[in-house]
Amino acid sequence: MLRFDTLIIGSGLAGLTLALKLADQQKVAIVTKRSLLDGASAWAQGGIAAVQSPDDSHDEHIRDTLTAGAGLCDPETTRFVVERGAAAVSWLIDQGVPFSKEDNASQDFHLTREGGHSKRRIIHAADATGKAIQQTLADKVRAHPNVTVLEHHIAIDLITGRKIGMSPRRCFGAYVLDTLSDRVITIAAARTVLATGGAGKVYLYTTNPDTATGDGIAMGWRAGCRVANMEFMQFHPTCLYHPHAKSFLISEAVRGEGGILRLPDGTRFMPWHDERAELAPRDVVARAIDYEMKKGGLDCVYLDITHQSEAFLREHFPTIHARCLSLGIDIARQPIPVVPAMHFTCGGLITDLAARTDIDDLYAIGETAHTGLHGANRLASNSLLECLVFAEAAAQDILSRKTAHPESLPDWDESRVTDADELVVVSHNWDELRRFMWDYVGIVRTTKRLQRAQHRIRLLREEINEYYRNFHVTSDLLELRNLVETADLIVQSALARHESRGLHYSKDFPLTAPVALPTILTPQD
């Protein structure tokens, strides 16, 4: 059994930030199922939204966030996050993150604008902000003597009092599979933090990495945590459409710098759908593209940024320019083929302003958590901001509490299982789940489609649970188990919302209710 003061499951921006803020005073472990940089944070292109210029204000950023969230953002949480934005960015600057400047001679950082924002307030590192931040923080984490990094380890489940005959509402650590040795280890911790990201891989098409399998949400739910607003799955409007471009995102900042969405014949269509045109919030743009594609039987639409010079595009979007060019698309001279793809999980485990969940000594931060910031639709570039602010809040709360370790925890029991006989069951069920979630629980929904998905989820869950009980665990099985759990929460939440709001659009309930209420699901003991 390994012992730490704090166990952090996940190595995205939230997890790494928290580790660095705790490490001078605690022994910290980071569990990550691949390498330290394989999470969604490193894929973030756009940047961090924070008020940093004299012509901007907290009230304007709050107003933009509330507008995008379609009435479901928590006002207290929104102000809490926005007012801490500049300090969060300053901390990253102090860590050495190389944010883009206005020009080579300037000391001022370049601020861009994205959909839903009334002002330029997005600080960024060219078009690879997440990669720049994660690399900077990962280097510091690896160098810190108080941080143990357990790469190629995947959490199986949390260890709660209910499992070991103690206080049922307390977390004591987690069981973790070392995927290189196939050995299950027990990790005891005074505090456990879920920072595993979202659940993009529950859908067939996503901008998320393969690691985004809803692990933290599923583990927290099984442990007894409530979840909220899981129906609000954000589809990014512009994912590159190309057979060799898996999950490659075309940043919202391309539209922020004047990119125009066009039909194959060159017609601009966004003004037909919203007066804000290409700078409307993501849910509006994604639905508009979905509508035009279905109406015209199109494989994709096109994002045209050719009015900008090649020098401008190489400077501001070097990653996008190079990737598209490698596929034969010169974005300085040709429009970019794009389609919507699942991007961000707006719901998650319910937390308070200190990142605490319903279970004592269990925290959730980042995309795994439902803080109340995003409401029915996340405002662009608020996600990295949320990671930073709530990592700081969790650190303050953890350090303010007395550290008490459990004396002993039971080992993982695999005395009644054998090696799997047919691994094809896992791969087949994974594929089936992602396809029917895309077809039935996508951008536009109906009650009948949701019921079909729910029926298939029940059948899959029975098969997977039987498989889990009888065979040794593998990383593929654990991820599939978590994806099915998360898919069920999404469908349950979508069926419970009898209106259309933000990211949830139902043909059966096309109107928006006069009162905005969250969807809260509570586990049955």
Cβ atoms 126, 100 nearer than 8 A: yes
Q: Tell me: pLDDT of 451 over 70.
A: yes
Pick the CATH number of 424-510 from 1.20.58.100, 3.40.640.10, 1.10.3720.10, 1.10.1530.10: 1.20.58.100
| Average of per-residue pLDDT across 263-287 | 93
**pLDDT on residue 422:** 65
Percentage of the chain beyond pLDDT 70 is: 98
Q: How far is residue 12's CA from residue 38's CA, in Å, rounded to a whole number?
A: 8
pLDDT band at 418 (very low <50, low <70, confident <90, very high): confident
**pLDDT on residue 83:** 97
Domain ranges in the chain are: 2-231+346-399, 237-341, 424-510
Question: pLDDT for 487-523, tens place per residue?
Answer: 999 999 999 999 999 999 999 999 999 999 999 999 9
Q: Tell me: pLDDT of 395 over 90.
A: yes
Question: pLDDT for 221-268, tens place per residue?
Answer: 999 999 999 999 999 889 999 888 777 889 888 998 999 999 999 999
282 catalytically annotated: yes
Torsion of CA 13, 15, 18, 24, to 10 degrees: -110
Question: pLDDT for 113-158, tens place per residue?
Answer: 887 899 999 999 987 888 999 999 999 999 999 999 999 999 999 9
DSSP 3-state of 124: coil
Single pTM value for the model: 0.91
What is the residue-averaged pLDDT of the chain? 92
Cβ atoms 148, 43 nearer than 8 A: no
C-alpha separations of 293 from 132, 288, 300, 338, 340 in Å: 35, 9, 6, 11, 10
- CA torsion sign for 440, 446, 452, 457 is positive
pLDDT band at 104 (very low <50, low <70, confident <90, very high): low
pLDDT band at 106 (very low <50, low <70, confident <90, very high): low
282, 287, 434, 501: the active-site residue: 282
The DSSP string of 163-187 is HHTS-TTBEEEEEEEETTTTEEEEE
pLDDT band at 198 (very low <50, low <70, confident <90, very high): very high
Which architecture does CATH list for 237-341? Alpha-Beta Complex (3.90)
Q: How far is residue 16's CA from residue 12's CA, in Å, rounded to a whole number?
A: 6
For the chain, how many residues are written?
Answer: 525
Percentage of the chain beyond pLDDT 90 is: 73
**pLDDT on residue 44:** 75
Residue for token digits 């730490």? 4
Burial 176-194 (b: 16+ CB within 10 A, else e): bbebeeeebbbbbbbbbbb
3-state secondary structure 203-223: CCCECCCCCCCCHHHHHHHHH
**pLDDT on residue 467:** 87
Q: Residue 463's closest CA among 524, 417, 422? A: 422
pLDDT band at 448 (very low <50, low <70, confident <90, very high): very high
| Average of per-residue pLDDT across 158-186 | 89
Could you list the beta-strand ranges (E) of 319-435: 336-345, 348-350, 362-364, 369-370
Say if domain 2-231+346-399 classifies as CATH 3.50.50.60: yes
Q: Tell me: pLDDT of 472 over 70.
A: yes
